[in-house]
Structure 1
Amino acid sequence: MQWLQAAGRLIQEQVLGMEWLNVLIGRGVSALGLDPASRWGGSIQFFLYDTIKITLLLCLLIFMISYIQSYFPPERSRRLLGRFHGLGANMASALLGTVTPFCSCSSIPLFIGFTSAGLPLGVTFSFLISSPMVDLGSLILLTSIFGGKIAVIYVAVGLAIAVVGGTLIERLHLEEYVEDFIRTAGRVDAELPSLTRRERLEYAGEQVAATFRKVAPYILAGVGIGAVIHNWIPEQWIEGILGGGNPFGVLLAVIVGVPMYADIFGTIPVAEALLGKGAQLGTVLAFMMAVTTLSLPSIIMLRKAVKPKLLGIFVGICAGGILAVGYLFNALEYLLI
């Protein structure tokens, strides 16, 4: 049993966490005449280490996920989801979201396509919630930084919010609040070409390049903000605002997170720094979920597809679920960390 635990630590710390890279960069910073324990030296080490680590993991994960995704183009995904009914359809849709686009704005066109194709509204909303909030990449990256337990918890509660949110929207029968051009769109049942393995590999490579170009600015911004929080903002400030002494910390994290626009990869470095400075676990999880699911650009895009009442209900369900998760895991933090 001990060897199994040792192997788990090795994978988390050296393979996923790349602690060897952190040590190597620390030596490089020292060779430049900077002290890694100083503010400037620590900031440079944090920035280089997190940027390189996230980039390496991200490119590998995008390639793997895109290869899997090549088996599930939109029309085939629609057909697959059409085989499920009731709660099972919401669960299948939420799980499908884990191997699809990495940000909320990229998920909305697929949501529109699924809705136009006649899938139940609740099913499409389960997909819309889960796609930006949780994916296979976030599970690996979260494991590399926070550990497997927190990573699994984040993905599990994200999927739960997606399933519950989609189910509630389905029960409210809000189809009339979808914009007319979507409800009246014709369904296309085209034959799907079968890709060769080489074509799938080429597709995965193209997705790596395209996705990285899109998310790279958010990774750099997120790591930069994380470096500032980690090395320049006093721990007492973070504890006072987002720690256990402030009962409104979760609400504040959600309010701050909504105007931001980033995917999970740009959000993780900020969350890492906040947690290291004394922010509560639930507050950090709520912040990540708010940024990835309820960003203002995605809300503006979604407004083009649904009417204000449905949009308001969607935001309310997501915000309520995120707040509940935040406060619940703040209460259970002592069991998890």
Structure 2
Amino acid sequence: MHKSGLIELEAVIAVARHGSFRAAATELGMSSTALSHAVAGLEARLGVRLFNRTTRSVSLSEAGEGFVATVAPALSDIHGAMEAVNDRRHTPGGTLRINSSVGAARRILTPIVLKYLRRYADMKVDLVTDGRLVDIVVDGFDAGVRTVDNVPKDMIAVPFGPSLRYAVVGSPGYFDTRPLPFIPQDLVAHTCLRSRLPSGIIYRWEFERDGEAHSIDVAGALTLDEPTLILEAARQGAGLAHLSEWSVEEDIVAGKLVRVLEDWTPLLPGLCLYYPSRRHMPASLRAFIALIRENDR
């Protein structure tokens, strides 16, 4: 059987409500002829007459009364669901799911996420941290947060925050018996904390100064795959660490870590919020992007 469209069901409900094809057509913004054809077409497919018609009146048949009693509540639920979805285009509500690296999550939590929740009391945020780069569409996320170089090419990116910089650090105790390195090549005489990327590859420490670049596979007895573990190992004097500047700045200021090779760690592009499309963007994501831009001024 041909599947009836909403307009045919709406036509039947409107005629039943008004007892008039003309009044129903006016309500739905249709011509009386078009509405009459919609109702007649539905009756033909159902094989029953829904309305008894005379030149002076229109009334539901027995079959029509049963049909309307069943369809009207269902149609109301459908309209309610459509309105609820439409409201999300205008008013932030529901849950905003964001995938982020651990470091990026720390950077956006206080200045953006918590401020967002205070501003939009009906919102919830599900911030999921992951070392690997996931497919945010497949995994059901509204957006992701990563460094610029890790944003997939088919995504729309919103850069925000300061530029990113890495730092090479070691504990004061580590340097008690070792000289400070002044150029990247000096690292061959040092114990370094090696970092395994989510892909399984060991990260090569990258340096650049005045157009001279070096990518070094540092040596060390300890390999870790989580930045907070690398930071803790560096604090304990286990070796030199290559970490984001923001993750070590407090330890440097407090004297818990000593920074070296600073002139070899240039500024890099910072973080981006990224998402798949601007079409039908929910109000929750639109408001989050607006807050990012507001916070970035």
The two structures have a TM-score, normalised by structure 2, of 0.20
Bigger radius of gyration: 2
| Structure in which a larger fraction of residues adopt strand | 2
